[in-house]
Amino acid sequence: MNWNLIIKVQGYLLVILGIMMFFPLGVSIYYGGDDFNSILLSIGITLLTGLIIILIFKSDKKFKAREGFASVSLGWILAALFGGLPYFFHGSFGPYINCVFEAMSGFTTTGSTILSEIEIIPKGLLFWRSLTHWLGGMGIVLFTIAILPMFGIAPGQLYNAEVPGPTKDRLSPKIKDTAKILWLIYLGLTAIETIFLMFGGMDFYTAINHSFATVATGGFSTLNDSIAGFHSVYIEIVITIFMFLAGINFALHFYLIKGRLRDFFKDSELRFYTGVVGVATILISLNIYFSSGILKYTTNYWRALLDSAFQVVSIVTTTGFMSADFNVWPPFAGLLLVTLMFFGGCAGSTGGGMKQI
């Protein structure tokens, strides 16, 4: 096991993480929040640690499978340990273990939180919280793969350890180019969703936070009531569409961009994924329309259909956004939603779960 190489890669990852912290620092400056010092201190510690590791540890620059898996595993742990520093230094997240939990939940796009009152947290920290989703969704390790060749490190086994499912089939002969393509698609979906959400009345800050969480299928919101807090049918529709897109294998998005429509639509996993979402949406919408006793559903099937579609896509992709309180829905609807949690998104997507394939 080449531990020098493994640790050196962690140095590059920490440097990237430290650089990314400048974005929430900018948000803190813009909004005049009291989180400036905590974020700045975190940047200093993260960058300094990363640079020291890079300078101290030397390697022969040859990755094998063992080094790849070890680097990815250690990378996620370090991301959470250092990613929790802004929360810890600010003090609003409680003890350090809470901060690490929040960071790990963000990077792994789990979406669980220790916060009971989200809206009182400074905007810079909330932005970092959403950004951890976005970095973790496609994989901060995958981003590292894209830049490692600049430093003479061949990241082949690192790529194989990080990327699940059919997306291992390279979209380009070079691994670094495949990583860049995947990140560009990811960035494009995020930018497009942000624009659409702004058309619905969101300011840029709120829109990009929710785009980060949607495309990463993470579920962190800047509101206590999640998406339900916006009271907007338009916003719910936009987020439903982009959650669905995020649950599709990113290799298929590449085929779509390249005009390979036949390859896109003939994919059996995509068909199954679409079928599961469609059938579950119809079954739940009919169930809450006829059996829920909730006035807004029993008098308006389209409202029942929209809320059903939103929650089905949110659950099946493991995003976790909420547009309605489905705890008051009939038992059949609740049971079906719980079942959908195990399906997950498509392999090679940002969705969690066991995967459709």
> Which residue bears the tokens 């796009």?
109
Q: Do the domain assignments include residue 215?
A: no
26 and 138 housed in the same domain: yes
- Cα three-residue angle 164-144-27, rounded to 5 degrees: 110
**How far from each other are the two terminal CA atoms of the chain, in whole angstroms?**
33
Q: Establish if 243 belongs to a structural domain.
A: no
Interatomic CA distance for residues 3 and 268, integer angstroms: 41
For CA atoms 249, 251, 257, 258, the dihedral sign is negative
d(C-alpha 313, C-alpha 83), whole Å? 29
pLDDT in tens, 108-132: 888 899 998 999 999 999 999 999 9
pTM above 0.95, yes or no: no
What the block records as the tokens of 131 is 């950004």
Q: What is the pLDDT of residues 217-238, one digit of tens each?
A: 999 999 999 999 999 999 999 9
Kindly state whether residue 39 falls inside one of the protein's structural domains.
Answer: yes
Contacts 24+ apart (CB under 8 A), 148-156: 148/9, 148/12, 148/176, 149/176, 151/12, 152/61, 153/5, 153/8, 153/9, 153/59, 153/61, 153/63, 154/61, 154/62, 154/63, 155/63, 155/68, 156/63, 156/68
Verify that 17 and 157 share a domain, yes or no: yes
**One-letter amino acid identity for 165?**
G
Statement: residue 241 has pLDDT above 80: yes
Domain span at residue 323 reads 248-343
Counted domains in the chain? 2
The verdict on residue 182 lying in a domain is no
User: What's the CA gap between 217 and 186, in Å, rounded?
Assistant: 12
Is 187 within the bounds of a domain?
Answer: no
Domain match, 144 and 265 both: no
Q: Does residue 257 lie in a domain region?
A: yes
Which two tokens mark 271? 């068909």
* pLDDT for 307: 94
Q: Do residues 93 and 102 lie in contact, with contact meaning Cβ atoms separated by under 8 Å?
A: yes
* Within a domain: 237: no
Q: Which residue has the higher pLDDT, 142 or 234?
A: 234
User: Do 136 and 15 sit in the same domain of this protein?
Assistant: yes
